[in-house]
């Protein structure tokens, strides 16, 4: 579903990604872990071209996304993204945050979009917050709205960029629970995370990145209980 | 100062009232035009395309880097006559000059306002599939405008005062009324004080209105938790950057 081939990304002289190859299959939950500065977030952001790709290619459903001929807006409609800082639109009610894109981009009519939004809010457990503004919500609630907003475009793939890192500890679970539910429903997900528990439980594959290189890849049990690479071992010895 | 002089001024009241209207009209046309033009120039200054960025940049550099008085004279005596063959009157020249000038200042206000919005907002909008312009219109500008309101209010008051410079092209604005009376009686204290006080009243009223708008929009996004706009707060509209 997503093919990443020889992906390089540089910010000026800083070579953040140094040739990553990986295939993501449909309905897989891929968890990307690694020390900070390893390029995990950049890797994720390259998949919907929030960062332009320096070298190599990313192919989603047979379409090379970093081809100048590709309309990136068409690709992004199919790829939902959830950010560490939520990035809800503060000037809109929760309901409008969710419906704005379906109405503007998918040309859905307002009533239909609002019905969809109410369904999604129910799914993330926030039925009563449709008319609230983001500033009235807790971090965990904001992140769940952000997930609902991304889902409203009916994406085929969901990207999560450290979705629980900015949350108070007691709010992490409510967000992870929503993500688990999505995974169970068969959503293809790429999750950059520090939540090793989530990666262990829900990940189909775990990728360990360090210094812009895919060091090790495998099922959670392989990676967590039996890491082969020294750097992976060193990383786990620090965090676990 | 002589009290009877104010009686003389009173007899010229229609000239002053007309002057107030001309000043207000010049300010209004200059400001609205300057805002719309400034929006495009400000967006131009944010463009990555060089052929959009550089004209916008040079525009701002020119109009902020030269005196408004020089711009007014250039437009009235050189630009408009060479475009149309004759003068189109002080109002056209004056309002065009004020518009072009305030567009440059507004452009910087608008550019800064847009840049002050967290870049995550644009990323979130783009990640939902919105094209850049749609995201700008629906997500960035509505948030940025709130932050632009205080400096845009200052700009309005600055423009109201700067509009007095059109007197040099014989515009019958408020200052001009004072000049006429001063010339007629060879008295300077009373007519110019009258003009100053009338400007002060105008800027005070504008300041109050701006203050209300500012309060309404610098408040919370949540309608129910907005503070009342009628409660008094110290005005901050005296600021002027020129």
DSSP designation for B79: I
Of all residues in chain A, the one with the smallest CA distance to B137 is: A104
- For residue B227, the model assigns a pLDDT of 67
Torsion over CA of A169, A173, A175 and A180, rounded to 10 degrees? 150
Residue B241 reports pLDDT greater than 70? no
**pTM above the 0.90 mark?**
no
Residue-averaged pLDDT of chain A: 94
CB pair distance less than 8 Å for B221 and A135 = yes
Could you tell me if A88 lies within 8 Å of chain B, comparing CB atoms?
A: yes
Dump pLDDT digits (tens) for A89-98. Answer: 999 999 999 9
Residue B237 reports pLDDT greater than 60? no
Handedness of CA B212, B215, B216, B218 (dihedral sign): positive
What ipTM was estimated for this complex?
Answer: 0.93
A223/A67 Cα distance (integer angstroms): 34
| Residue B90 · residue B171 · CB < 8 Å | yes
Alpha-carbon distance values, B157 to A223, B172, B200, B236, B241 (Å): 66, 20, 10, 11, 11
State the pLDDT confidence band at B228, using cuts at 50, 70 and 90. low
Report how far Cα B51 is from the mean position of its chain's Cα atoms.
27
Of A186, A132, A119, A176, the closest CA to residue A155 belongs to A186
| Residue B93 · residue B75 · CB < 8 Å | yes
Portion of chain B with pLDDT greater than 70, in percent: 93
| Residue B198 · residue B20 · CB < 8 Å | yes
Residue A84 reports pLDDT greater than 50? yes
- For residue B229, the model assigns a pLDDT of 59
Dump pLDDT digits (tens) for B36-72. Answer: 999 999 999 999 999 999 999 999 999 999 999 999 9
First to last CA, chain B: 31
Dump pLDDT digits (tens) for A19-38. Answer: 999 999 999 999 999 998 89
Nearest to B127 among A81, A88, A136 (CB): A81
CB pair distance less than 8 Å for B138 and A100 = yes
Residue B196 reports pLDDT greater than 80? yes
CB pair distance less than 8 Å for B128 and A50 = no
User: With a CB-CB cutoff of 8 Å, which residues 189-228 of chain A face chain B?
Assistant: none
- For residue A1, the model assigns a pLDDT of 87
- For residue B235, the model assigns a pLDDT of 43
User: Best residue in A76, A88, A159, A190 to probe B by mutation, most B CBs within 10 Å?
Assistant: A76
Could you tell me if B133 lies within 8 Å of chain A, comparing CB atoms?
A: no
CB pair distance less than 8 Å for B127 and A76 = yes
A94/B217 Cα distance (integer angstroms): 19
Alpha-carbon distance values, A223 to A18, A33, A43, A200, A204 (Å): 21, 11, 19, 9, 11
Q: Give the tokens for residue B32.
A: 């609205």
Could you tell me if A70 lies within 8 Å of chain B, comparing CB atoms?
A: no
Dump pLDDT digits (tens) for B105-147. Answer: 999 999 999 999 999 999 999 999 999 999 999 999 999 999 9
Residue-averaged pLDDT of chain B: 90
B chain contacts of residue A117, beta-carbon cutoff 8 Å: none
- For residue A240, the model assigns a pLDDT of 66
CB pair distance less than 8 Å for A104 and B143 = no
Q: In angstroms, what is the C-alpha Rg of chain A?
A: 18
Dump pLDDT digits (tens) for A177-236. Answer: 999 999 999 999 999 999 999 999 999 999 999 999 999 999 999 999 999 999 999 999
Residue A173 reports pLDDT greater than 90? yes
| Residue A187 · residue A1 · CB < 8 Å | no
Q: Per mean pLDDT, which range of B50-64, B87-101, B215-229 is the poorest? A: B215-229
- For residue B230, the model assigns a pLDDT of 56
B70/A127 Cα distance (integer angstroms): 62
B78/B100 Cα distance (integer angstroms): 15
User: What does the pLDDT average to over A101-105?
Assistant: 95
Residue B240 reports pLDDT greater than 60? no
Contact pairs from chain A to chain B, CB under 8 Å: 71
Nearest to B124 among A79, A87, A135 (CB): A87
Of all residues in chain A, the one with the smallest CA distance to B124 is: A87
A149/B105 Cα distance (integer angstroms): 37
| Residue A4 · residue A51 · CB < 8 Å | no
Locus of tokens 């992870």: A176
User: What does the pLDDT average to over A106-124?
Assistant: 95
User: What does the pLDDT average to over B188-209?
Assistant: 95
| Residue B69 · residue B168 · CB < 8 Å | yes
Of A196, A142, A193, the closest CA to residue A163 belongs to A193
Q: How many beta carbons lie within 10 A of that of residue A25, not counting itself?
A: 11
Alpha-carbon distance values, B70 to A128, B5, B38, B73, B174 (Å): 61, 34, 20, 5, 20
Give the DSSP H/E element, type plus range, for residue A20: strand A14-24
State the pLDDT confidence band at B3, using cuts at 50, 70 and 90. confident
- For residue A97, the model assigns a pLDDT of 97
């Amino acid at each position: 579903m997503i093919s990443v081939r020889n992906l390089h990304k540089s910010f000026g002289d800083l070579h953040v990604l140094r040739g990553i190859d990986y295939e993501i299959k449909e309905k897989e939950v891929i968890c990307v872990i690694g020390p900070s500065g390893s390029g995990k977030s950049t890797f994720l952001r390259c998949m919907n071209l929030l960062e332009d790709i320096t070298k190599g290619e990313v192919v989603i459903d047979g379409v090379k996304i970093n081809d100048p001929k590709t309309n990136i807006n068409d690709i992004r409609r199919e790829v939902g993204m959830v950010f560490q800082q939520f990035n809800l639109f503060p000037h809109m009610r929760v309901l409008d945050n969710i419906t704005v894109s379906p109405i503007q981009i998918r040309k859905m009519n307002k009533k239909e979009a609002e019905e969809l939004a109410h369904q999604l809010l129910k799914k993330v457990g926030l039925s009563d917050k449709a008319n609230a503004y983001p500033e009235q919500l807790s971090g965990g609630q904001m992140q769940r709205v952000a997930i609902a907003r991304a889902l409203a475009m009916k994406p085929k793939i969901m990207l999560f960029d450290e979705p629980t890192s900015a949350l108070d500890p007691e709010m992490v679970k409510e967000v992870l629970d929503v993500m688990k539910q999505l995974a169970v429903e068969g959503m293809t997900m790429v999750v950059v995370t520090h939540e090793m528990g989530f990666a262990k439980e829900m990940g189909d594959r775990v990728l360990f990145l360090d210094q812009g290189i895919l060091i090790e890849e495998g099922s959670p049990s392989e990676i967590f209980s039996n890491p082969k690479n020294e750097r992976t071992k060193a990383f786990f010895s620090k965090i676990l | 100062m002589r009290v009877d002089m104010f009686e003389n001024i009173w007899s010229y009241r229609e000239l002053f009232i007309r002057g107030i209207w001309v000043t207000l009209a010049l300010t209004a046309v200059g400001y609205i035009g300057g805002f719309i033009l400034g929006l495009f120039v400000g967006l131009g200054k944010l463009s990555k395309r060089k052929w959009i960025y550089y004209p916008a940049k040079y525009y701002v550099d020119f109009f902020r880097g030269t005196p408004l008085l020089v711009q007014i004279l250039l437009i009235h005596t050189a630009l408009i006559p060479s475009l149309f063959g004759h003068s189109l009157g002080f109002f056209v020249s004056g309002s065009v000059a004020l518009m072009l000038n305030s567009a440059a200042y507004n452009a910087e206000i608008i550019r800064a306002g847009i840049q002050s919005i967290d870049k995550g907002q644009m990323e979130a909008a783009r990640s939902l599939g919105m094209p850049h312009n749609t995201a700008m219109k629906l997500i960035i500008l509505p948030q940025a405008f709130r932050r632009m309101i205080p400096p845009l209010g200052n700009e309005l008051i600055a423009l109201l005062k700067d509009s007095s410079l059109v007197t040099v092209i014989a515009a019958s604005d408020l200052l001009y009324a004072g000049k006429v009376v001063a010339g007629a009686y060879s008295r300077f204290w009373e007519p110019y004080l009258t003009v100053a006080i009338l400007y002060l009243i105008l800027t005070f009223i504008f300041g109050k209105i701006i203050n209300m708008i500012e309060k309404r929009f610098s408040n919370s996004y949540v309608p129910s938790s907005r503070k009342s706009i009628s409660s008094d707060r110290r005005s901050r509209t005296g600021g002027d950057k020129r």
